[in-house]
Structure formats: structure tokens, C-alpha cells
Amino acid sequence: MSCLTSVFMQKTAYEQRFLVILIAALCIGAATGIYVLLSDDFGNMELKITLTTLALIGYSLSGLCVSSLYEKERYRVFALAGIATAVSGYLLNLLAVWETIDIDHTREY
């Protein structure tokens, strides 16, 4: 029995789905990042894809770290808050990278 299988057998269905989604996101992000870095032309679109990949990897890892607190009953609120922070941070980063929101004018008073 592999190590990954033994980890999945100890988790509940919610935690198992969350881990599978995070691991799949990391694998897809890594494959996309490798493809973009190996491509011949590195322009604005490739920069956006690379930044999106880095954000996906960073926020997935932070969500994975915080999800380990979910097992402990007294830290469950912090785990949910950390997961929500990771998801909202990734979405905000995604909107900023793809220029859906204008970050140049957010500090005007």
C-alpha cells in the first residue's frame, strides 16, 4: 500500500476531496508552468500564465498547510478562515494578474 493511499484512508470524504483538488491543481499548474517556460516566445501572455501558475502553487500550498488544522476540533475555525483566505487571495491575485481590476488606481485618495 502506497503512502498516498494510506493518507487518503485516514481522511474523511471532505478532506479527501480537498486534498485531491489541491494536488491536481499543483500538478496542472506545474505542467502549465513547464510548458510556458519551454516555449519559444515569452511575451505578455506567457508572463500572465507564469504568474497565475505561481499564485496557484503558492495559495494551494498555503491552503494545504492550513487544512491540517481542520482535524483538530478547537482549531477548526482557524482552518476554515485560512482556507477562505487562501481562496480569496488567489482570486484577487488572479483578477490583478489578468487586469480585470485596475491595481494602479486603487490607492488614489
Query: Secondary structure of the chain in the HEC alphabet?
Result: CCHHHHHHHHCCHHHHHHHHHHHHHHHHHHHHHHHHHHCCCCCHHHHHHHHHHHHHHHHHHHHHHHHHHHHCHHHHHHHHHHHHHHHHHHHHHHHHHCCCCCCCCCCCC
Mean pLDDT of 61-70: 83
> How many domains does the chain divide into?
1
What share of the chain in percent tops pLDDT 70? 80
Residue 102, pLDDT score? 65
The burial class, CB within 10 Å (0-12 / 13-18 / 19+), for 9 is exposed
- State if pTM tops 0.85: no
Q: Are 70 and 79 in contact (CB under 8 A)?
A: yes
Q: Is the pLDDT of residue 10 over 90?
A: no
On whether residue 66 sits in a domain, the answer given is: yes
61-88 as b/e: b if 16+ CB within 10 A:
ebbbebbebbeeeeeeeebeebbeebee
Residue 18 belongs to some domain of the structure: yes
pLDDT confidence of residue 100: 75
Q: Tell me which residue range forms the domain holding 72.
A: 11-97
Confidence of residue 35 (pLDDT cuts 50, 70, 90): confident
Q: Tell me the average pLDDT across 15-30.
A: 82
Would you say residue 72 lies in a domain? Answer: yes
108 domain residue, yes or no: no
Report the mean per-residue pLDDT for the chain: 80
Q: What pLDDT shows up at residue 70?
A: 80
